[in-house]
Chain A
Amino acid sequence: MRGLLPHYFLFSLIQAGRLPVNIAMNLDIPLEAKPCHKAVRVPSRKHAPSARSVRITKSLLTQKTNQPPSHGEMARLLKSVASDRSVEAFEALFRFYAPRVRSFMAMKTGDRQVAEELMQETMVSVWNKAAQFDPERGNVSAWIFTIARNIRIDFYRRRRPAFDPHDPAFVGDDTPSAEMEFEQVQDAALLRQAMATLPPDQLDVLKRAFFDDVSHSTIATELGLPLGTVKSRIRLAFEKLRSALEGRR
């Protein structure tokens, strides 16, 4: 049932003339061809002809925007947004994350305009909530993913109850906070390395789960695999990631 909504939504966009039919059609093609990226990029060229922005802020001058900057650098920029309301630091974050968040949004919605709006919402939220970023609980990329995810959930009018670390009945962790923060910085680097070594079939299942916003049974149908195989790929992938993290401890 959940899968029907986006299609119906797309269908109404096609009818309203907001979305070219070929883009919507592309969505049914398996991910290998990265149809969603293409689908989004084609119309966006129309929007931004030759004068694509080449301005890059100082902090990102040393690296291409495709190259992930260090997590320490990102955390520093975000801290500067939180404490000094630094527009410059925010611009550096925006230049790196906004195109990626827009890609992420486009994968599910398939609509350029909706993806643009949801990206803007996400980045405004990053600006507003910067002070709530807790380096003990994860790195900046993970935090921005959770914001984008929650905005996507809201857009589809779903609810996702969450725990509250300030609740008196909440059972906290004994690990000292300085240690947690250190662990998180290390974990981010280790996770990145470990992800690079995952077999393609396991990585593919994770991508579909996180980005396409579909259930495991939908993934199984799309890949023509039994549900058990999809579940075991998930389990194997996370066993591998966890053992990479535990190797450090």
Chain B
Amino acid sequence: MNIQHHLSDDLLLDYAAGNLSEGWSLVVATHMALCPSCRKRLSAMEGAAGALLDKVEPVEMPADAWDRMKRRLEGIRIEEVKAPRPAAPAGSGMVFPEPLRSYVGADLANVKWQALGLGAYQVRIPTADPSTQVRLLRIPAGKPVPEHTHVGRELTLVLSGSFHDGDDLFGRGDIEEADDNLLHTPKALPGEDCICLAVTEAPLRFSSWIVRLIQPILKI
């Protein structure tokens, strides 16, 4: 099964440069665990950064910089050269790759879903990043993705099953990048529930207490 929908250059560049916050990075890194082609693009970008580093105008260093470094090295115990870990056995049957699995604390079989209504489920994934909201969604076979209106950017990574959005089909490993200009109506394909990792910008906090009170009911 080949991945058809990849990360955009600007998202990948933000990740390569270390400018992407934790929530977005989680979905970007999880996609890359499944996508050798995006990892190649990442490594080309890091190569570009390395070439830029070579060309950076070097600062003049304090005369004792190397001596201080050498003294620091002497304080470090000689570490054994670690042999590379053996490659993991293929076909482990796991659905969530790292880093996602650690964030969820379980693989798909042991996820504790919360009902969203109409047969859909979700699990919020806690991060230290207040600017995003990360969750797993389980969309019932043949049904539309719930709550697909959002403010700003949204990234959706398919982990199991598939959905279509207009003419585009998204299967395991495919990532959909949407912003508020795009009116999209993703719908799971019949036959199998679709499990997705979805990241959105954190919902707005309304100042009015009345709106805050009904916010959970309206799910906005």
Contact = CB atoms under 8 A, between A and B. Distances in A.
B173 to A, nearest CB: 7
Interface string A128-156: 10011000011111111110111011000
A195 B48 contact: yes
A173 B59 contact: no
B29 A152 contact: no
A167 B9 contact: no
A169 B53 contact: no
Interface string A89-120: 01100110111111110100000000010001
Contact of A172 (B30, B36, B48): B36
Contacts of A97: 53
A235 interface: yes
B203 interface: no
Contacts of B73: 87, 90, 124, 127
Contacts of B70: 87, 91
B48 A216 contact: no
A241 B44 contact: yes
Find the residue from B51, B94, B99 having the highest chain A CB count within 10 A.
B51
B188 interface: no
A40 interface: yes
B109 interface: no
A68 B55 contact: yes
A160 B103 CA distance: 12
Contacts of B185: none
A18 interface: no
Contacts of A9: none
A16 interface: no
B172 to A, nearest CB: 10
B96 A145 contact: no
Size bracket of the B interface: 35 or more
B43 A137 contact: yes
B34 A171 contact: yes
A141 B48 contact: no
A152 B29 CA distance: 19
A187 B76 contact: no
Contact of B50 (A82, A99, A144): A144
Contacts of B63: 48, 51-53
Contact of A238 (B45, B66, B94, B103): B45
Interface string A230-249: 01001100100110010000
Contact of A53 (B32, B49, B61): B61
B43 A138 contact: yes
A23 interface: no
A48 B62 contact: yes
Interface of A: 1-2, 34, 37, 40-41, 44-45, 47-48, 51-53, 55, 65-66, 68, 82-83, 85, 87, 90-91, 94-95, 97-104, 106, 116, 120, 123-124, 127-128, 131-132, 137-146, 148-150, 152-153, 158-164, 166-174, 184, 187-188, 191-192, 195, 206-207, 209-211, 213-216, 231, 234-235, 238, 241-242, 245
